[in-house]
Amino acid sequence: MNSLHVPKWLFVSIALVSFVGFLDATYLTAQHYLGFELNCSVFNGCETVTTSEYSVVAGVPVALLGALYYFTLFIGMFVYFDLQDKRVLRVLMSLTLLGFLASLWFLYLQVFVIKALCFYCLVSATTSTLLFVFGMLALFRFRPIE
């Protein structure tokens, strides 16, 4: 790890947070395909978010897109670690902006359009925001050596 361009703590944090995000989005994807969750619960209100029309984009559940995004980041970090190619890091860290913007959009939908919050979606919003912060740190604060 001595020739890594980003500090060890940052590398570990990105890998860890993207894995948490991956688990969270995988859970939601499994819920989408396996769990026919059409009810209102005493504990978490109604399943209006994960069953709303906004939960699917062109036939693909957004949860699956999220899982792929976190998967790319998680695997990508190890590809970078393995190959020590700073271009990989630059592409990955630029991706976090996309993830962050997507999360802002979903948060807006939940608060202002669907008017219901979903716990696992908020977890995802948190992980993607963290990844964005880490990504910007990796890109600008700890600039990969040319």
Partner 1 sequence: MEQDTRTTTDIRGSYELKQEEKRKKMQTFQRGRMMRRLALWTGILLLVVGGVYGMVKLVSSSKVPSAVLTETISVTDWVKGNRNSKVVLIEYSDFQCPACGAYYPIVKRVTEEFGDKIAFVYRHFPLQQHRNARIASYAAEAAGKQGKFFEMHDKIFESQAAWSESLSADEAFAKFAGELGLDLEQYKNDSNSSEVKARIDQSYQSGVRSSVNATPTFFLNGKQIQPRGYDDFKAIINNELTTRS
Q: Could you say which of 74, 100, 106, 132 contacts partner 1 (CB under 8 A)?
A: 74
CB 94 to partner 1: min, Å: 22
The interface region with partner 1, picked from 20-28, 104-112, 121-129, 130-138 by CB under 8 A, is 20-28
Phi, psi of 101 (to 5 degrees): -65, -40
Tokens at residue 14, please? 């990105």
Based on the shown chain and the rule CB under 8 A, indicate whether residue 102 belongs to the binding site for partner 1: no
Q: Which is nearer to partner 1, 118 or 139 (CB)?
A: 118
Based on the shown chain and the rule CB under 8 A, indicate whether residue 11 belongs to the binding site for partner 1: no
User: 93, 28 in Cβ contact below 8 A?
Assistant: no
Provide the 10 A C-beta neighbour count for residue 57: 10
Provide the 10 A C-beta neighbour count for residue 2: 4
User: 125, 103 in Cβ contact below 8 A?
Assistant: yes
CB 81 to partner 1: min, Å: 8
Interface mask toward partner 1 for 37-66; x: CB under 8 A = -xxxxxx-xxxx------------------
